[in-house]
Chains A and B, each alone.
Chain A
Amino acid sequence: MADTSLAAAAAPAFRFSATETLKHVVLVLGAIIVLLPFYVMISFAMKSPAEIMQQTGGFFGTQAAFVDHYCVKLGNPESACMVNPIAYNFTQAFTKAPLLRYLLNGVIVTASIFFIQVIVAMPAAYALAKLRFWGREAVFGLVLFGLLIPVHAIALPLYVMLAKLGLTNTYAALIIPWTISVFGIFLMRQFFMTVPDDLIDAARMDGMSEFSIIWKVMLPTAIPALLAFAIFSVVAHWNDYFWPRIVITGARDLFTPPLGLREFKGDIDGNNYGPMMASALVIVTPLIAAFLVAQRRFIEGITLSGMK
C-alpha cells in the first residue's frame, strides 16, 4: 500500500521494519504452499520407483542406477538393465504413451484455433468498428450476448450437434467450437475504434480494397492487442481438458496433452509415479517457461478479460 512505500522512500535504506518482515513471512509461507506440487512433480520425475515408495533420496534422489524389472522380464541380464532414474522416467514417459504425438496434437489444435479465431474475428471487428451498415447494432448485440455464455457450459448440445454430423473423434471436433471468439471480436473492435478514420480514408484513396485495409493497415496497428489475445487463447486451449475429454473418446491419435496425461494415469501399472510426473512436467513446462521469459506479456494476456 501507499503508506509503506512512501515511508520506505523517506526512511534510510535497509532499516529493519517489522511490518515488512511480517509481510515477507506471510508471502513466503504462501509461496511454499503454491510451490509444493511443483516441488513434488519435479522431485518425483527425478527419482527411482524405490525412492518414491520409501520416501528417501531428498529432492533430487540419489541418482543411483537401479534395475528395470520390465527389462529383466524380457530376458535381458540384470547388468544390462541398470538405468538412471531421470533417464528411465523420461524415456518411459515418451515410450509408454505417444507423448510426442500428444504434444504435436496440442500444437496443431491450439495453433489452428488461434488462426481461425483471428481470421474470423478481425474482419468482423473491423466492420463493427469502422463500417456503417444495416443491422450493425444487432450483430454487436449478439457479440455482447455471446460474452455471457461460457462455451464449456453448452458443451453437451455442441457435442450432440457434432455427433450428428459424425465429427466426434476428429481434429474438427477439437477446433470448431472455439473458432468463434466473441471475446476476440469485442476486444479487437474496441481497439479498432481508436484507430483514426483518416488512416483508413487515406488507404482507400490509395485504392486499397477493404480487405487489404484489414490485413495491411488495421492488423499492424493491432499487434500488441493481438499478441495478448494469442497468449490468452493458447494458454486456455493448451490446458483445456474438459472439451477434448468430451469429443475424443478412445482415438488416441487425437489426444491432446491433458487427455494423454489423464490416460497415462489410468494406465500406469502399480505405483509407477516417476514416469507420470515426468509426463506432467513435459506438458506443463512449455507454457511455464514461456511465462517466465515473457512474464509481463503473459500476465497482460491472461488478464485480458479483466481490462475494460
Chain B
Amino acid sequence: MPGRYAHLWFIGPALVLMLAILVLPILVAFGLSFTDYGLGNGQTDFVGLDNYTAIFHKRSFAKMFGATFRYVLVVAPVSVALGLGAALMVNSLGRIGEIYKTIYFLPVMAALIAMAIVWELALHPELGVVNRLLATGCGSPLELWPWYAQGCTDGFPFWLNDKRYAIWTVAFIGVWQAFGFNMVLYLAGLTSVPRDLYHAAEMDGAMSSWERFRLVTWPALGPTTVFVVTITLIRSFQVFDTVEAFYPTGGGPSKSAYVMMFAIYEKGIQQNLLGLGAALTMVFLGFVMILTLAQRWLVERRVHY
C-alpha cells in the first residue's frame, strides 16, 4: 500500500525549490525595484517609482529599448523565415538534405560565447575573413550595388565598431545561431502534415507548389509556427553572450547594442545598482510573460486541422 504521506516526500523538494528559486526571486525583485538597494550599502531607502521612471525616461534606457527591439525584430522574423525555408528545402531533398540539416544545426550546439569570439575575429577590419571575401568581389558586377562599390573604394565597414552597423551585425550573428533550431522544429512539424491533404488540394486544382504551400503546408504548420515564433522571441529578448563578448563595457558604439540583459547585468552586477536592476528585471519579465501568455491564448483558440 502506498504510504499515506509518500507524496509529501516526493513533492516536497520540488515544491520548496520551485518556491525558493522561481517564485521568491520575483517577489524579491518586485520589492527591491522600489528601493535604492545595493550590496554592502549601509542603508536602503524606499524610492517609490523612481527606478521605473528612470527606465522610461532616461536617454540611455531609450537606447536600451531601441537596441533590444531592433535586435528582436530582426532576429525573430528572419530566423523563423529562414528556418521555415531551410526546412521546406531540406525536407524536399530527401536523404541528401540530411547533410544540410547537420550543418545548419552546428551553431545551436556550439557555445555561443566561443563562436562570438570567432565572429569578432572573422569580422575584424584587417585580419577578418569577411571583409577580405567582400574585397574579392570588387571589380565584378557586384559593384553595380552602390553600397558595394563604396566599400570597394573606401573600405568595407568596421562591422562591430561602427554604430551604424553594430546592432545589425550582432543581430546577424543571432540569426546565424538561431535559424537551425527553428529549422529542426519545422522539420518535426512537417512530418505531421497529413499526406492526404496534398492529394485533396491537387484534386481541387491547387497545382503549383506555391498553391499547395499556401493551402496545405502553411495552415498545417500553424501550431508549429506559433511555438517557433514565441520561443524565438523569448530567446532573442535574452541576448547577452554576444553583446558582452564584443562590448564588455558600455554596450557598443554609442550604446547602439545596449540590449536589456546587458543593461540588467551592467546596472545590477557591475554598478551594484540593484534596485534599478530589479526594476529592469520586472520590466523584462513583463515582456516575457506577455509573449508566453499570448502564445497560449493563440494555441487555445486556434482552429486545428
Are the CB atoms of B285 and A154 closer together than 8 Å? yes
In the complex formed, the residue of B with least CB distance to A178 is: B21
Neighbour of B10 across the interface among A52, A126, A176, CB < 8 A: A126
The answer to whether B32 and A30 have CB atoms under 8 Å apart is no
**Which residue on B lies nearest to A127, using beta carbons?**
B10
Mostly, the A contact residues are helix
Q: Which of B82, B114, B240 contacts A242 (CB 8 A)?
A: B240
A7-31 with Cβ < 8 A to chain B? 8, 20, 23-24, 26-27, 30-31
Cβ of B161 within 8 Å of any chain A Cβ, yes or no, is no
Q: Is the C-beta of A227 less than 8 angstroms from some C-beta in chain B?
A: no
Task: For the complex formed, measure the closest distance between the CB of A198 and the CB atoms of chain B, giving whole angstroms.
Answer: 15
Q: Does B69 contact A (CB under 8 A)?
A: no
For B231, the chain A residues whose CB sits under 8 A away are 305-306
Contact indicator A8/B22 (Cβ below 8 Å): no
**Please, which residue of chain B has its CB at the minimum distance from the CB of A124?**
B14
CB distance from B296 to the nearest CB of A (A): 9
Which residues of B, 161-186, contact A by the 8 Å Cβ criterion?
A: 176, 180-181, 184-185
Contacts known (A154-B25, A238-B111); A1 close to B209, Cβ less than 8 A: yes
Please tell me if the beta carbons of B111 and A156 are within 8 angstroms of each other in the complex.
no
Q: Are A265 and B278 in contact, CB atoms less than 8 angstroms apart? A: no
The segment from B46-54, B136-144, B262-270 that touches chain A is B262-270
Q: Quick one: given A30-B86, A146-B22, are A159 and B269 in contact (CB under 8 Å)?
A: yes
Indicate with 1 or 0, residue by residue over B122-151, a CB within 8 angstroms of chain A CB atoms.
100001011010000000000000000000
Query: A8 to B95, alpha carbons, bound, how many Å?
Result: 12
Given known contacts A5-B94, A156-B274, A204-B1, A124 and B13 CB-to-CB distance under 8 angstroms: yes
Q: Is B215 an interface residue (CB 8 A)?
A: no
Q: Which residues of chain B have C-beta atoms less than 8 A from A292's C-beta?
A: 102
B92 touches A5 (CB 8 A): yes
- Does any Cβ of B come within 8 Å of A302's Cβ? yes
Q: How many residues of A contact B (CB 8 A)?
A: 101
Chain A positions within 8 Å of B119 at CB level: 37
Query: Do residues A303 and B91 form an inter-chain contact, with CB atoms below 8 A?
Result: no
Supposing A124-B13, A258-B111, A306-B231 touch, asked if A150 and B3 sit within 8 A by C-beta, the answer is no
CB of B147 to closest CB in A, whole Å: 18
Are B132 and A55 touching (Cβ within 8 A)?
Answer: yes
Q: Are B281 and A156 in contact (CB under 8 A)?
A: yes
Report yes or no: A261 in contact with B117, Cβ–Cβ below 8 A: yes
Q: Which residues of the partner chain A approach B100 to less than 8 Å between Cβ atoms? A: 27, 30-31
Select the stretch in A67-75, A83-91, A273-281 that faces chain B: A273-281
Q: Summarize B's interface: helix, strand, loop or mixed.
A: helix
- Residues of B26-40 at the interface with A, using a CB-CB cut-off of 8 Å, are 26, 28-29, 32, 37, 39
Which of A126, A148, A291 lies in contact with B289, CB distance below 8 A? Answer: A148
A283-B111, A283-B114 given; A204·B188 CB < 8 A: no
- Is there an interface contact between B127 and A271, defined as CB atoms closer than 8 Å? yes
Residues B92 and A180 in contact, CB atoms below 8 Å apart: no
Instruction: Point out which of A3, A151, A307 has the most chain B C-beta atoms below 10 A from its C-beta.
Output: A3
Chain A residues at the B interface, C-beta cutoff of 8 Å: 1-5, 8, 20, 23-24, 26-27, 30-31, 33-41, 44, 52-53, 55, 119-121, 123-124, 126-128, 131, 133, 136, 139, 142-143, 145-146, 148-161, 163, 176-177, 179-180, 182, 185, 204, 209-211, 214, 235, 238-239, 241-242, 245-246, 257-258, 261-262, 265-266, 271, 273, 276-277, 280, 283-284, 287-288, 291-292, 295, 298-299, 302-303, 305-308
